[in-house]
Structure formats: C-alpha cells, structure tokens
C-alpha cells in the first residue's frame, strides 16, 4: 500500500540524521533570505527565524530533540573549529591592537566582569535558579565559547545559546541609540563596547555602521572570548556558583 | 584540497587545545586554547597561509548557522523559560544596557588617559 509505504518512509526519515541536518540547512537558508529581504533588521536575525521554524516543525511533526540533534550535530560540531578560526580575524587586527592595547585590555577585563556579574546578580535577586544563573553568566560571549564556558560551569549550553543570541539582538538593536545618547562618536569606542557586550551579532551590526567600528568590534569580541574563558569561571567561583 | 588543508589545521589546533585542557586540568574550553595557540603561531610566523585564512573566513561568515542546533535546544527548556522569564529578561536587558554604556564610557576615558599629547607616537 502506498500509504503504508509513506508512513514507514516517514518513520525511517524522522529517525535518520539526514532529516535533522537537511532541515537545519533549509531553515537557515530560508531565514537568511527573509533577513536579506527585510533589509537585515537585527530583530529578524536568521538564527531567531531558523530556530522558530525548526521548533515549529519538530513540535508539529512530533520529533524528539534528541533525534533532531543526531543530524544537526554535524553543524554543531563546527563550533569548535570556528572558535579556533577566530584567531585569524584577531591576527588581522594586530596593528589596531598594538596602537591601543592598554585601553582595550583594561576595558575588556572590566566589561567581561561587569557583563557576567550584573546579569547573574540581577537574575539572582529576582529568584532565578542555579542552573539558569550558570547558563546566563557567559551571555555576552560569542556563542561557541559561551557554550563551552556554560558546560564548564555546570550550566545548560543549549539555554546559554539562546541567551547569547537574545543578548546579541538586544545589543545590535539598542547599541547605536545608547551611543548617540552618550554623544559618543569615536568608532574605536563604539566598536569595543559593542564587541564586548554583543559579540558576533553586535559586530555584524557595527560593520553596517562603519568598517572601522566593525573591525574594533571584531577585535573586542575575540579578545573578550579569550579573557572570558579564563575569567568567568573564576568570578563564578568567588560567589560559589560553580 | 585547500579546504581540507585549512580545516585540518583548525582541527589539529582544536585537538591540541582539548588535550592540553584535559592534561593540565584548566577550566577553559579546549577550542579557546586552540584559538590562543593559533594566534601565537600566526604572531611567530608573521602571516596567515591562504588555505587557513579562506577556511576561517568561510566558517566565520556563517557563524550564526552553527548555533542553530543548540538554539533549537530551547524547546527542551520551555518550562524553565516560562517559569523564569522575568529574572532572565530583566538580567539580559539591564545587563546589556549597563555593559554597553559603561564599557563605552571607560574606553573613552582610557583612550584620553593613554594618549597624552606629549608621548604620542602617531
């Protein structure tokens, strides 16, 4: 029977890595097209749309996250090499780093600590539980590193991924308004603030505003990732949250 | 072949990073150590080879795609987010505003402090 054939094909596909992988790439391509058509508005970031599409699909088709991840893990795996690859843009920014290394490093150490402590402090005051606090601590760090830190702390890396994306969108949307409110025009200042707070999404936004701001944001993002990986676990340890 | 070579270099650095993190028992993600080591190598060599640069650019161009699978993991945390949306959302918004404003303020101050006109080397 054709119908039984289809049903067993579906059972086969739903359990095969091929479906999760293909669905991830399809959803992202579609989301990226939408993002481009809408003039790259940060609120319509492809990650947000792709995640929404995929969750809708998985819930509708009654597919367990574990089965989906069996396929999607091939994309997820690339986070590791992508983190290593951040060394290349960092190296490209070497002349800027040489010129401004002291202001940049001081600002990053301060910013990384503030981003982690303020978010954990506020959520703690409002009664969030321990796993949520641990997942929240690296929210300003670029996703692959943030998820690594979250796993080290005993948080939930997948929750961290969501919080990192939300932070990136927030930073990209409000960053420039805050800077004009502060009457801040220097691209190096705006870029560094954006890269520390809103990682890759802030950097993408910064490149739309100016090349110089984007370059500084990328530099701050890579350095913050490196410094956060060492500093955030120590800070969390001070408050006995690890 | 270039892509394979580039990816191999990145994976070797990641592997060295993972091994040293485990061997030395340091609380840092292995790929971050890999990133630091690759950065040091580039400093010493004084340049990036083309295959590594191309592979790195390709990976970073669509970095967003790579966190989609983890983002979908949110579906496992619906209950947690429904219960804790207020602390989480307040923390995200307030901390983001606070960090943006104070890092911009500090960076501006530090640049003034470190660039007094007499010692400027251009």
- A123 in B contact zone (CB under 8 Å): yes
Residue B57 shares a structural domain with residue B89: no
A233 contacts B28? CB cut-off 8 A? yes
End-to-end CA distance of chain A: 57
pLDDT over 90, % of chain B = 53
Please check whether residue B26 lies inside any domain of the structure.
Answer: yes
* B2 and B62, same domain (yes or no): yes
ipTM here: 0.87
Q: Tell me the shortest Cα–Cα distance from A9 to chain B, in angstroms.
A: 24
B122 occurs within a structural domain: no
State whether B41 and B74 are in the same domain: no
**Same structural domain, B99 and B62:** no
Domains held by chain B: number: 2
Q: Cα separation of A196 and A218, whole Å?
A: 9
Q: Are residues B30 and B62 in the same domain?
A: yes
What is the rounded average pLDDT of the residues A96-112? 93
Q: Are residues B89 and B105 in the same domain?
A: yes
B59 and B104 together in one domain:
no
Q: Does A209 touch chain B (CB under 8 A)?
A: no
Q: Are B80 and B46 in a shared domain?
A: no
Is A129 within 8 Å of chain B by CB? yes
Question: B121 lies in a domain?
Answer: no
B35 and B91 in a single domain? The answer is: no
Q: What is the mean pLDDT of residues A81-108?
A: 89
Within this chain, do residues B50 and B100 fall inside the same structural domain, yes or no? no
The answer to whether the Cβ–Cβ distance between B107 and A200 falls below 8 Å is: no
- Decide if pLDDT at B121 tops 60: no
What's the pLDDT tens digit per position in A157-166?
889 988 998 8
CB neighbours of residue B48 within 10 Å: 17
Average pLDDT over residues A135-150: 91
Report B:37-66 residues touching A (Cβ under 8 A).
38-39, 42-43, 48, 52-53, 55-57, 59-60, 62-66
Domain residue limits at B46: 1-66
Are B99 and A197 inside 8 Å of each other by CB? yes
A177-215 pLDDT per residue, tens: 999 999 999 999 999 999 999 988 888 888 888 878 888
Residues B75, B61 share a domain = no
A6-10, A48-52, A188-192: lowest mean pLDDT where?
A: A6-10
Do B42 and B27 share a domain, yes or no? yes
């Amino acid at each position: 029977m054709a119908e039984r054939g289809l049903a067993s094909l579906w059972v086969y596909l739903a359990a095969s890595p091929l479906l999760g992988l293909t669905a991830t790439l399809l959803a992202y391509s579609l989301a990226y097209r939408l993002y481009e058509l809408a003039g790259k508005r940060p609120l319509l970031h492809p990650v947000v749309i792709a995640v929404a599409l995929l969750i809708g699909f998985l819930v509708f088709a009654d597919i367990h996250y574990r089965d989906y991840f069996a396929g999607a893990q091939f994309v997820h795996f690339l986070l590791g090499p992508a983190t290593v690859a951040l060394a290349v843009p960092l190296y490209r920014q070497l002349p800027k780093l040489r010129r401004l290394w002291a202001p940049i490093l001081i600002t990053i150490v301060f910013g990384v600590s503030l981003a982690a402590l303020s978010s954990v402090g506020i959520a703690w005051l409002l009664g969030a539980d321990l796993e949520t606090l641990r997942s929240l601590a690296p929210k300003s760090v670029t996703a692959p590193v943030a998820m690594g830190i979250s796993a080290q702390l005993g948080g939930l890396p997948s929750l961290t991924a969501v919080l990192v994306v939300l932070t990136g969108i927030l930073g990209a949307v409000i960053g420039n308004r805050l800077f004009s409110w502060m009457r801040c025009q220097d691209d190096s200042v705006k870029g560094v603030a954006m890269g520390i707070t809103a990682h890759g999404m802030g950097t993408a936004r910064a490149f739309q505003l100016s090349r110089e701001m984007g370059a500084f944001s990328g530099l701050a993002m890579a350095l913050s990732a490196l410094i956060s990986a060492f500093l955030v676990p120590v800070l969390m340890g001070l408050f006995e949250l690890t | 072949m270039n892509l394979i070579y580039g990816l191999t270099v990145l994976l070797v650095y990641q592997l060295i990073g993972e091994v040293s993190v485990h061997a030395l028992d340091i609380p840092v993600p292995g790929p971050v150590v890999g990133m630091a080591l690759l950065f040091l190598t580039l400093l010493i060599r004084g340049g990036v080879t083309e295959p590594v640069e191309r592979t790195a650019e390709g990976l970073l161009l669509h970095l967003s795609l790579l966190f989609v699978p983890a983002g979908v993991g949110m579906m496992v945390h619906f209950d947690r987010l429904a219960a804790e949306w207020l602390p989480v959302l307040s923390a995200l918004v307030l901390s983001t505003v606070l960090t943006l404003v104070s890092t911009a303020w500090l960076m501006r101050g530090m640049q003034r402090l470190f660039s007094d006109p007499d010692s400027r080397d251009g």
